């Protein structure tokens, strides 16, 4: 089973920053769109951000625009989600996912491979 590995989650105060990483040793991410999703307790999994495999164009859900930045370093086979100005409502388990030749859909149904998730807690 091919799988991604997330890291970088943790506990941070409101207004703080975290950088999440997503990587795998099992396949190259060059040909995959990468999506970041999150799921808070009692809520559905929602798309946060994605980056296309074709032109590296990015998409952000409205609630994180201007605060989060997605990027990828194909040489390191890693994608990142830089999260600034964090708010308590950003608290969730964050997942990365990969979609072969994807354009960066916000729908989790489009993605082929997933990580186990990393917890992000924003609290004072």
pLDDT tens figures, 3-59: 999 999 999 999 999 999 999 999 999 999 999 999 999 999 999 999 999 999 999
Report the DSSP beta bridge partners of residue 115.
4
Q: What is the CA radius of gyration of the chain?
A: 13
Phi and psi dihedrals of 89, rounded to 5? -75, -5
> What is the DSSP code (8-state) at residue 106?
S
Per-residue pLDDT at 2 = 86
Q: Contact at 8 Å (CB) between 107 and 47?
A: yes
Cβ–Cβ under 8 Å, residues 111 and 98: yes
| Cα distance between residue 119 and residue 40, in whole Å | 10
**94-108 pLDDT, tens digit each:** 999 999 998 999 999
117 vs 2 pLDDT, higher one: 117
């Amino acid at each position: 089973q091919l799988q991604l590995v997330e890291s970088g989650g943790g506990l941070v105060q409101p207004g703080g920053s975290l950088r999440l990483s997503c990587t795998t040793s099992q396949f190259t991410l060059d040909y995959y769109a990468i999506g970041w999703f999150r799921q808070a307790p009692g809520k559905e999994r929602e798309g946060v951000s994605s980056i296309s495999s074709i032109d590296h164009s990015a998409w952000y859900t409205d609630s994180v625009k201007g605060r989060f930045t997605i990027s990828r370093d194909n040489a390191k086979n890693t994608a990142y989600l830089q999260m600034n100005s964090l708010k308590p409502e950003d608290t969730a388990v964050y997942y990365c996912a990969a979609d072969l030749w994807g354009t960066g859909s916000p729908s989790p149904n489009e993605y082929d491979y997933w990580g186990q998730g990393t917890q992000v807690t924003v609290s004072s």
